[in-house]
Amino acid sequence: DQQVKQNSPSLSVQEGRISILNCDYTNSMFDYFLWYKKYPAEGPTFLISISSIKDKNEDGRFTVFLNKSAKHLSLHIVPSQPGDSAVYFCAASSSNTGNQFYFGTGTSLTVIP
């Protein structure tokens, strides 16, 4: 059973515009959330994280928003750049149930120059 879901397999955005990637989760015990970026033939690399005590975390062009009541988080990239084209994975973990990371299926972002 997929505890972390990314319902959009792909997204295309014009360079300079905002990219919004979405993620839903089912386990209310999750208290730490992360976004990873993956280029072809490489391992995923960490992008940004958020603890459940916050509802927003910002790092440069990247902002993650957490809506605990809706069990939803999103990643905003502003402005989008062609180098942002990659697969983005959402992940979640719970400090109460072992700290292992559960990942979604990924969203492939294409930023069009």
Partner 1 sequence: DAGVIQSPRHEVTEMGQEVTLRCKPISGHNSLFWYRQTMMRGLELLIYFNNNVPIDDSGMPEDRFSAKMPNASFSTLKIQPSEPRDSAVYFCASRQEILNTEAFFGQGTRLTVV
- One of 17, 46, 67, 82 touching partner 1 (CB under 8 A): 46
Binding of residue 99 to partner 1 (CB under 8 A) = yes
- As measured in angstroms, the least distance from the Cβ of 84 to partner 1 is 19
Binding of residue 41 to partner 1 (CB under 8 A) = yes
Question: Cα separation of 32 and 94, whole Å?
Answer: 6
CA neighbor of 75 nearest in space, from 26, 21, 39, 9: 21
3-state secondary structure of 9: coil
CA neighbor of 87 nearest in space, from 102, 73, 105: 105
- One of 60, 70, 96, 100 touching partner 1 (CB under 8 A): 100
Go through 56-72 and write b for each residue having 16 or more CB atoms within 10 A of its CB, e for each that does not: eeeeeebbbbbeeeebe
Binding of residue 25 to partner 1 (CB under 8 A) = no
Binding of residue 62 to partner 1 (CB under 8 A) = no
Structure tokens at 60: 């440069």
Binding of residue 96 to partner 1 (CB under 8 A) = no
Binding site for partner 1 (CB under 8 A): 2, 6, 32, 34, 36, 41-46, 49, 89, 91, 95, 98-106
